[in-house]
Chains A and B, each alone.
Chain A
Amino acid sequence: MNNSLLLPLILLPLFGALLPPLFHRFGRTASAWAAAVVVAAALLLLLSLLSPVFGGQTLLYHADWLPAYGLNLSLRLDGLSMLFALLILGIGLLVILYARYYLSERDPMGRFYGFLLLFMAAMLGVVLSENLLLMLVFWEMTSLSSFLLIGYWKYRADARQGARLALTITGAGGLSLLAGILLLGQISGSYELSVVLDSADIIQAHPLYPVTLVLILLGAFTKSAQFPFHFWLPHAMAAPTPVSAYLHSATMVKAGVFLLARLFPALAGTELWFYLVASTGMITLLLGAYHALFKHDLKGLLAYSTISHLGLITLLFGLGTPLGAVAGVFHIINHAIFKASLFMAAGIIDHESGTRDMHKLNGLWRYMPHTATLAMVAAASMAGVPLFNGFLSKEMFFAETLHQGWLGDWSWLLPLGATLAGVFAVAYSIRFIHDVFFNGEPIDLPRTPHEPPRYMKVPVEILVALCLLVGVVPAWTVAPLLATAASSTIGGELPRYSLAIWHGINTPLLMSLIAMLGGALMYALRHHLFALHARCFRPFDAKQVFERLLYKLILLARGLTEVLENGSLQRYLGLLIGSVVLVTGVALWDTPLSGPVPSAEVDAVTLVGALALAASALTTTIWHRHRLVALIQLSVVGLVVSVAFVRFAAPDLALTQLSVEMVTIILLMLVLYFLPQHTPAESSSLRKGRDLLLAGGAGASVALLAWGVLTRPYQTIGDYFMQQSLPGGGGHNVVNVILVDFRGFDTLGEVTVLGIAAIGILMLLRGLRLKMPAADGEGRPWASDRYPMILAVISRPLLPLALVVAIYLMLRGHNMPGGGFIAGLVTAIALILQYVASGIAWTRARMNINYIKLTATGVLLSTLTGLGSWLFGYPFLTSGFGHFHLPLVGEFELATAMLFDLGVYLAVIGSTLLVLANLGTLTLINREMAEEN
Chain B
Amino acid sequence: MNFDMPNFLPAMPEMFVLGMTSLILIIDLFLNERTRVVSYLLAQATLVGAFILSLSLYSGNAELSFSDTFVLDPMAGVLKMAVYATVFMVFLYSHSYLRERGLFRGEFFVLALFGVLGMMVLISAHSFLTIYLGLELMSLALYAMVAMQRDSRTASEAAMKYFILGAMASAMLLYGMSMLYGVTGTLELTELSRAVQQTQGDRLLLVFGLVFLLVGVAFKLGAVPFHMWVPDVYHGAPTAVTLFISTAPKLAGFAMLMRLMVDGLPGLQPQWHDILVLLAVLSIGVGNVVAIAQTNIKRMLAYSGISHAGFLLLGVLSGTPEGYAAGMFYAIVYTIMGLGGFGMVILMSRAGFEAEQLEDYKGLNQRSPWFALMMLFIMFSMAGVPPFIGFWAKLAVLQAVVSANLMWLAAVAVIFSVIGAFFYLRVIKLMYFDQAREQGSLKPGADLAVVLSANAIGILALGAFPGALMALCLQAMGA
Contact = CB atoms under 8 A, between A and B. Distances in A.
Interface of A: 64-71, 133, 136-137, 140-141, 144, 151, 154, 160, 164, 167-168, 171-172, 175-176, 178-179, 182-183, 186, 208, 211, 215, 550, 553-554, 556-558, 560-561, 564-565, 567, 569, 571-573, 575-577, 579-580, 583-584, 587-588, 591-592, 595, 705, 708-709, 712, 714-715, 717, 728, 742, 874-875, 878
B407 A211 contact: yes
Contact of B414 (A176, A557, A571, A579): A176
Interface in B3-17: 3
Identify which of A69, A179, A592, A874 gathers the most chain B CB atoms within 10 Å of its CB: A69
Contact of B429 (A160, A577, A595, A742): A160
Contacts of A144: 380, 385
B184 to A, nearest CB: 10
B299 to A, nearest CB: 8
Contacts of A67: 467
Chain B CB count within 10 A is highest, among A154, A178, A717, for A178
Contact of B164 (A550, A556, A569): A569
Q: Which 6 A-B pairs have the closest CB atoms?
A: A557-B293, A572-B228, A137-B386, A579-B225, A557-B292, A172-B418
Contacts of B403: 186
A554 B293 contact: yes
A696 B278 CA distance: 24
Centre residue among A137, A583, A728 by max chain B CB count within 10 A = A583
Given A66-B467, A554-B293, A576-B165, A151 B407 contact: no
Interface stretch (B74-82, B90-98, B201-209, B351-359): B201-209
A172 B183 CA distance: 49
B395 A133 contact: yes
Interface in B148-175: 160-161, 164-165, 168-169, 172
Contact of A68 (B275, B385, B422, B471): B471
Nearest to A705: B208
B444 interface: no
7 contacts: A66-B470, A176-B418, A182-B402, A183-B407, A186-B402, A211-B407, A591-B203
Given A66-B467, A183-B407, A553-B419, A583 B275 contact: yes
B26 to A, nearest CB: 18
A587 B274 contact: yes
Nearest to A713: B201
A715 B185 contact: yes
A167 B185 contact: no
A556 B219 CA distance: 24
A702 B271 CA distance: 20
A157 to B, nearest CB: 9
A275 B219 CA distance: 48
Contacts of B231: 565
For the residues of A in contact with B, the DSSP-based class is helix
B182 A565 contact: no
Contacts, number: 182
Main secondary structure of the interface of B (DSSP, over half): helix
Contacts of B398: 178-179, 182
Contact of A714 (B205, B399, B418): B205
Interface in B438-479: 466-467, 470-471, 474, 479
B395 A69 contact: yes
Contact of A579 (B226, B411, B470): B226
Nearest to B232: A567
A171 B380 CA distance: 11
Interface string B388-421: 0001100110110011000100110010011101
A728 B289 CA distance: 60
Contact of A591 (B185, B207, B418): B207
Nearest to A742: B1
**Which residue, of A133, A179, A874, has the highest number of chain B Cβ atoms within 10 A?**
A179
B208 A584 contact: yes
B215 interface: yes
A712 B385 CA distance: 53
Contacts of B210: 587
A610 B406 CA distance: 49
Nearest to B292: A557
Nearest to A169: B418
Given A136-B386, A171-B421, A564-B286, A573 B207 contact: no
Contacts of B396: 69
B405 to A, nearest CB: 9
B183 A714 contact: yes
A712 B182 CA distance: 13
A364 B345 CA distance: 55
B414 A137 contact: no
Contacts of B271: 587
Interface centre among B160, B212, B386 (most CB of A within 10 A): B386
Given A68-B474, A182-B410, A587-B274, A708 B204 contact: yes
Contacts of B479: 68
Contacts of A137: 386-387, 391
A168 B417 CA distance: 12
Contacts of B274: 587
B116 interface: no
B204 A588 contact: yes
A137 B399 CA distance: 15
B370 to A, nearest CB: 13
Given A64-B467, A175-B414, A587-B211, A168 B165 contact: no
A708 B211 CA distance: 16
A556 B419 CA distance: 12
Interface string B53-65: 0000000000000
The CB with the most chain B CB atoms within 10 A, among A137, A558, A874, is that of: A137
B154 to A, nearest CB: 10
A560 B474 contact: no
Most B CB contacts (10 A, CB to CB) among A136, A183, A565 go to A565
B2 interface: yes
B70 interface: no
A878 B289 contact: no
Given A137-B387, A580-B172, A742-B1, 13 more contacts: A140-B385, A144-B380, A171-B418, A215-B411, A560-B289, A569-B164, A572-B165, A572-B229, A584-B211, A588-B207, A708-B205, A714-B182, A717-B185
Contacts of A154: 432-433
A561 B293 CA distance: 8
A133 B399 CA distance: 11
A595 to B, nearest CB: 8
A484 to B, nearest CB: 30
B291 interface: yes
A588 B204 CA distance: 7
A53 B405 CA distance: 40
A757 to B, nearest CB: 14
Contacts of B219: 576
Contacts of A579: 215, 225-226
B143 to A, nearest CB: 14
Contacts of A70: 399
A71 B432 CA distance: 33
B425 interface: yes
B38 interface: no
- The residue in B212, B391, B395 that gathers the most chain A C-beta atoms within 10 A of its C-beta is B395
Nearest to A578: B225
Contact of A179 (B1, B183, B229, B411): B411
B252 to A, nearest CB: 21
B290 A561 contact: yes
A564 B228 contact: yes
A576 B395 contact: no
Nearest to B5: A875
Contacts of B384: 175
Nearest to A582: B225
Contacts of A215: 411
B294 interface: yes
Contact of A573 (B3, B164, B212, B421): B164
Given A171-B421, A579-B226, A591 B168 contact: no
